[in-house]
Structure 1
């Protein structure tokens, strides 16, 4: 028995030795170390380190479903509209010896129908469209794409002229809210004070740099810019809130086309100034804010939020930075105007809030072409619109990042003289005139930000 045990143990030892020798001949493989994604807390919530780098990245976006209802002015219009918007953004930041290196990209894609496609300041106002009912539209836009390296900002970013850029509410007020190609330098002085000098391409803002079509004899054409807009701002951000003073100078060169000849007008320059303040009001409720802003423009009404069309409902007109003498076709007069904006956000509970928003604006234009009487051309004073926009909403946020809300909007415009009723013109009925009009609209929004 002892002999059998000895043989078995000896055999096992031999097999183990042979196996060990063969294993020693095989190549050795060590498992690669696992690199876990690390949270980056240097720039706020949502950032993480890209594995293998010192760059912090945040990826986020938005989905918005929106529905609007408003008064329609004829059977050729839609009384409602729908819109779906998808947004994605990427924010990458790296700490360097020269300051933070930041790259930001935000892209929007949307589809819209009905009164969302009529092209007014607030689509829910449902202005009369001479094109009748419009079909579904899809759009994609590069909203932001910029690089920040220390004090330098380059790319497409929010204009440094802007302060209140429709931060509250669902609807747009008459204010500057411009995303533009720019090159800017920002100096920081400590204590939350900064000053910025920015060269901005006005051709990327969606506002036209041309004369009022109603003010040009025989038409007009855009001459082309010789320089970008020059924007400067001084800003402070502290615990109590923020304040900003900004100004802009812009080139609005055009060719004035007179009867039988073309007159080169050269370069017509416009300017705008704006001041605004935002107060944080935690003494009322956490998150409460009050915005106040005023702006004035001369030959640069895009900085007031105007551009091209002006009107509500059946009262529609055309405005521009300059008007031309309608008799001679030479001599421009700049359009001047101002806009006042106010907004208040109040949290009734941590999950329920309301926004109250309002804007009032006036423009003063030069004289424009009138009817020919007895073979003699006449002139009319400009439209000189006065516009009021009021809005209020109630929003419920049952969970973080989700908003469910309704908003009511009122808009009114009044011109300095009577103009053709857009409804009677479009339907080919008896000619009627109108001097003012107003409209109500309602909006339902469901939005998720992540």
Structure 2
């Protein structure tokens, strides 16, 4: 029996040794390395490294629900406007940045989709038919590439905020005057230190021009925009200018060519931080003047990048916006105008803030000029509003706004939506909005 045990144990040990030797000859399999997502703190919160690269990425967005209530002027002639409107807007932001020997390489995309109905895009305080078509007005879904550009060191190429703009509707809900334009452009920015920079930008004229009373000719060159900006701890200041062409071909109701004109716009703005009142408080002051480019004042625009439509509506008063006009002799006359904007933001508590804002503007179409068959509209407009916003948690805003507008023209014109013969010279309107917005 002892002999049998010894034979069995010896055989088992032999088999184990042989099996171990064979296993050692087999190729081994190692676990693949795990790519962990790393936080990228170079460009601020929310960025992370794309695994396997040195590119930092941030994905964000916004959902906005908004509700508008406005006057309808019932009982006076005809009125097809609604007293309320609903809007839903979604936004997706993708921001990718890579450090290079030439500076930061940045790619930014902002895509929006909007569905609006009711009083959005209609009269009273609205932004007019163009807003309906390209910015999500009454009826239907509108998609829009709001931003899409590449920045490589000092160069910005693609679709971005105009370098002329300064305040650009930062705090108001409803529209006040002042340039807020997204445009296709090619720009170069030089940075000199201590917060000082200078930019020269070639920007697409197609979305800036406001053709109300002339047929535009072919473009020779884009709008040439320049700006000087100073940003420091106390706030920021900017001086902007633009030079452009307005080449009319036919005046409304006239036959024959019209002369080409060179127009310009200039703007100065300052933002002052007011921490002595409360953390986050700030004051904005802005003034702009133009000859031939009223979109630089916030009066219209031909493309999706414009906050405004080509016409202006205040209550029953609707008037045509036009960069240039053609008189009875076929001469092109550039529209002159200016706009003043002021905004004060105050934090009552860290979660409750209020903005008070207003604008005043005037346009001069030129003596003897006809717009839509009516002489000398020369509108003057005043807008003032305020919103109160509660942010119960980070990224969530619940706000209400009241906005009042009053406008008048030099010559009485046909009231919008009224029977023939109902002429008015001035009107005003009141609107209110509720906005619930989540940014992430």
Question: TM-score, with normalisation over the residues of structure 1?
Answer: 0.88
SS of 1:417's equivalent in the other structure is strand
Match of 2:286 in 1: 293
Match of 1:374 in 2: none
Match of 1:314 in 2: 316
Residues in 2 aligned to 1:167 and 1:370: alpha-carbon distance in whole angstroms:
32
1:202-351 equivalences under 5 Å are 202-205=205-208, 207-208=209-210, 210=211, 212-213=212-213, 220-257=214-251, 261-263=255-257, 265-307=258-300, 308-326=310-328, 328=329, 330-351=330-351
Describe the shift of the 1:153–1:365 C-alpha distance in structure 2 as closer, same or farther (beyond 3 A).
same
Match of 2:19 in 1: 19
Residues in 2 aligned to 1:240 and 1:260: alpha-carbon distance in whole angstroms:
54
2:41–2:47 CA contact under 8 A, matched in 1: yes
Describe the shift of the 1:310–1:117 C-alpha distance in structure 2 as closer, same or farther (beyond 3 A).
closer
Describe the shift of the 1:29–1:432 C-alpha distance in structure 2 as closer, same or farther (beyond 3 A).
same
Residues in 2 aligned to 1:200 and 1:245: alpha-carbon distance in whole angstroms:
17
Q: State whether structure 2 residue 408 is matched by structure 1 residue 404.
A: no
Match of 2:122 in 1: 118
Describe the shift of the 1:414–1:31 C-alpha distance in structure 2 as closer, same or farther (beyond 3 A).
same
Match of 2:52 in 1: 52
Describe the shift of the 1:266–1:20 C-alpha distance in structure 2 as closer, same or farther (beyond 3 A).
farther
Q: Give the unaligned 5+ runs of structure 2.
A: 301-309
Describe the shift of the 1:261–1:115 C-alpha distance in structure 2 as closer, same or farther (beyond 3 A).
closer
Describe the shift of the 1:8–1:52 C-alpha distance in structure 2 as closer, same or farther (beyond 3 A).
same
Q: CA deviation at 1:118?
A: 2.0
Q: What is the root-mean-square deviation in Å for CA atoms of aligned residues?
A: 2.3
Q: State whether structure 2 residue 164 is matched by structure 1 residue 161.
A: yes
Q: CA deviation at 1:301?
A: 0.9
Match of 1:78 in 2: 82
Q: CA deviation at 1:259?
A: 7.2
SS of 1:284's equivalent in the other structure is coil
Residues in 2 aligned to 1:120 and 1:437: alpha-carbon distance in whole angstroms:
9
Q: CA deviation at 1:269?
A: 1.4
Q: CA deviation at 1:19?
A: 2.9
Instruction: Say which of 85, 89, 92 aligns to 2:96.
Output: 92
Match of 2:411 in 1: 417
Instruction: Say which of 175, 180, 183 aligns to 1:180.
Output: 183
Residues in 1 aligned to 2:325 and 2:225: alpha-carbon distance in whole angstroms:
24
Residues in 2 aligned to 1:52 and 1:239: alpha-carbon distance in whole angstroms:
38
Match of 2:105 in 1: 101
Residues in 1 aligned to 2:340 and 2:181: alpha-carbon distance in whole angstroms:
17
Residues in 1 aligned to 2:216 and 2:438: alpha-carbon distance in whole angstroms:
42
Residues in 2 aligned to 1:331 and 1:116: alpha-carbon distance in whole angstroms:
37
Q: CA deviation at 1:6?
A: 4.0
Number of equivalent positions: 420
Q: Give the unaligned 5+ runs of structure 1.
A: 214-219, 372-378
Partner deviation per Cα, 1:215-236 (whole Å, 9 max, x = no partner):
xxxxx42212110001111000
Describe the shift of the 1:27–1:391 C-alpha distance in structure 2 as closer, same or farther (beyond 3 A).
same
Q: CA deviation at 1:18?
A: 3.4
SS of 2:185's equivalent in the other structure is strand
2:164–2:226 CA contact under 8 A, matched in 1: yes
Instruction: Say which of 416, 431, 434 aligns to 1:441.
Output: 431
Q: CA deviation at 1:389?
A: 1.0
Partner deviation per Cα, 1:165-205 (whole Å, 9 max, x = no partner):
00012122111001011111111111000011111112134
Q: CA deviation at 1:16?
A: 2.3
1:61-76 equivalences under 5 Å are 61-74=61-74, 76=80
SS of 2:437's equivalent in the other structure is strand
Question: TM-score, with normalisation over the residues of structure 2?
Answer: 0.90
SS of 1:422's equivalent in the other structure is coil
Q: CA deviation at 1:334?
A: 1.4
Q: CA deviation at 1:10?
A: 2.9
Residues in 2 aligned to 1:5 and 1:392: alpha-carbon distance in whole angstroms:
99
SS of 1:10's equivalent in the other structure is helix
Describe the shift of the 1:369–1:196 C-alpha distance in structure 2 as closer, same or farther (beyond 3 A).
closer
Describe the shift of the 1:237–1:85 C-alpha distance in structure 2 as closer, same or farther (beyond 3 A).
same
1:382–1:416 CA contact under 8 A, matched in 2: yes
Q: CA deviation at 1:365?
A: 1.0
1:65–1:83 CA contact under 8 A, matched in 2: yes
